[in-house]
């Protein structure tokens, strides 16, 4: 039987791969792992808290105000980064503005983290998989100062690490530091993430397309033609692909990463820039899919090449197996 490798051990082993490694990035990754274990525990209790403990009103049995799980998750991650000492500022889906940490230790932190604490949170009430997505950059501002907006608005290609946690039938943490993608499954009996998916590669092609097809009539003709191609028996597979759409980005992305497939969230009439957020949804997943051998594009350009202009900027997103995304881009005329 082979030895179990925990995330903690794995991170320490890989630390030497970074030039000038001082252990700070390793500590951030460990902080994320700890925060996500707490969130995982809370997610597993979601039905109990929402429907049993909180059923009497606005407060729970301890007299505390009920909080939505995405706010709890946001607080958990912010607390982890604020107290860790390596991170000087964060931006999250839950906060309109970025947060620059003000303690002297934090001002000396070299890193910033952008994250979506609980993506797909509208799925919580119906017991469907949800996820956390994170993206780590070296700060561009001077050490010792407060983090600023420019720190947050770096190109995705500048990421030094990115990952996600999927709270699914099991809890998994998948991350990259630019040297491949590795996946860890939480073993609840020992409370550790254990290496379960080393060196993940996405198949070059697959049979799955994932798109909210409710939008098919209100998106670009190129997308409509590509989806018709996926559904036709005259495509490259000679049979219709499988349509699979959970509506929870991390879950849809993770399934496609493993099985091969394409994820599409195009621009629509109602959301001409697309729906998904560049900084803490698309960039981290783009980094991962590229590291796994796939492609992520807006339909016009490589996601990681975009210079962000706004914190909550949205983009159209086409990501997945190389051959499938390339085919979709052909239909879009690129």
Residues that bind ligand AFP (CB under 6 A): 119-123, 212, 247-249, 252, 275-276
209-218 exposure pattern, b = at least 16 Cβ within 10 A, e = fewer: bbbeeebeee
Size of the chain in residues? 334
Beta-carbon contacts of 27 under 8 Å, excluding residues fewer than 6 positions away, are: 84, 85, 86
Nearest distance from residue 110's CB to ligand AFP, in Å?
30
β strands within 267-306, DSSP E: 276-277, 295-297
Nearest distance from residue 276's CB to ligand AFP, in Å?
6
Nearest distance from residue 73's CB to ligand AFP, in Å?
11
- Three-state DSSP state, 166: strand
Nearest distance from residue 17's CB to ligand AFP, in Å?
31
Q: Do the bridges between strand 242-243 and strand 208-210 make them parallel or antiparallel, or are there none, so unpaired?
A: parallel
The smaller minimum CB distance to ligand AFP, of residues 15 and 123, is found at 123
Could you say which DSSP state residue 268 is in?
Answer: B
The smaller minimum CB distance to ligand AFP, of residues 249 and 324, is found at 249
The smaller minimum CB distance to ligand AFP, of residues 85 and 156, is found at 156
Nearest distance from residue 123's CB to ligand AFP, in Å?
6
Q: For residue 105, what are its two tokens?
A: 């230790």
The smaller minimum CB distance to ligand AFP, of residues 16 and 126, is found at 126
Nearest distance from residue 313's CB to ligand AFP, in Å?
14
Q: Residue 171 in contact with residue 165, Cβ under 8 Å?
A: yes
- Three-state DSSP state, 53: helix
- Three-state DSSP state, 194: strand
Nearest distance from residue 38's CB to ligand AFP, in Å?
20
The smaller minimum CB distance to ligand AFP, of residues 123 and 196, is found at 123
Beta-carbon contacts of 45 under 8 Å, excluding residues fewer than 6 positions away, are: none
The smaller minimum CB distance to ligand AFP, of residues 7 and 251, is found at 251
Q: Residue 251 in contact with residue 166, Cβ under 8 Å?
A: yes
Q: Report which of 204, 211, 205, 247 is spatially closest to residue 226, judged by C-alpha positions.
A: 211
d(CA 14, CA 10): 6
Nearest distance from residue 252's CB to ligand AFP, in Å?
6
- Three-state DSSP state, 98: coil
The smaller minimum CB distance to ligand AFP, of residues 123 and 141, is found at 123
d(CA 248, CA 127): 11
The smaller minimum CB distance to ligand AFP, of residues 18 and 245, is found at 245
């Amino acid at each position: 039987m082979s030895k179990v490798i925990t995330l903690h051990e794995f991170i320490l082993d890989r630390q030497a791969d970074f030039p000038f490694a001082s252990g700070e990035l390793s500590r951030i990754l460990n902080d994320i792992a700890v925060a996500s274990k707490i969130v995982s525990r809370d997610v597993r209790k979601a039905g109990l808290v929402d429907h049993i403990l909180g059923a009497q009103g606005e407060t729970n049995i301890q007299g505390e105000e009920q909080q939505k799980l995405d706010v709890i998750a946001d607080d958990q991650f912010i607390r982890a980064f604020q107290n860790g000492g390596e991170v000087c500022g964060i931006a999250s889906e839950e906060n309109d503005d970025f947060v620059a940490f003000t303690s002297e230790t934090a001002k000396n932190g070299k890193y910033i983290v952008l994250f979506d604490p609980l993506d797909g949170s509208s799925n919580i009430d119906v017991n469907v998989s949800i996820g956390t997505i994170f993206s780590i950059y070296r700060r561009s501002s001077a050490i010792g100062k407060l983090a600023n907006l420019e720190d947050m608005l770096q190109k995705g290609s500048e990421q030094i690490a990115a990952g996600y946690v999927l709270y699914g039938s099991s809890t998994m943490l998948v991350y990259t530091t630019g040297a491949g993608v590795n996946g860890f499954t939480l073993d609840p009996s020992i409370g550790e993430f254990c290496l379960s998916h080393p060196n993940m590669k996405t198949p070059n092609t697959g049979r799955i397309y994932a798109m909210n097809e409710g939008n098919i009539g209100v998106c670009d003709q190129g997308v409509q033609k590509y989806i018709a191609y996926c559904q036709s028996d005259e495509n490259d597979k000679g049979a219709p692909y499988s349509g699979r759409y959970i509506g929870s980005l991390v879950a849809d992305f993770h399934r496609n990463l493993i099985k091969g497939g394409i994820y599409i969230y195009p621009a629509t009439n109602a959301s001409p820039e697309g729906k998904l957020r560049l900084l803490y949804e698309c960039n981290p997943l783009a980094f991962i899919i590229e590291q796994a051998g796939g492609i992520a594009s807006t339909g016009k350009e490589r996601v990681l090449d975009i210079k962000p202009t706004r914190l909550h900027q949205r983009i159209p997103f086409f990501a997945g197996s190389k051959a499938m995304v390339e085919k979709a881009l052909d239909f879009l005329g690129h």
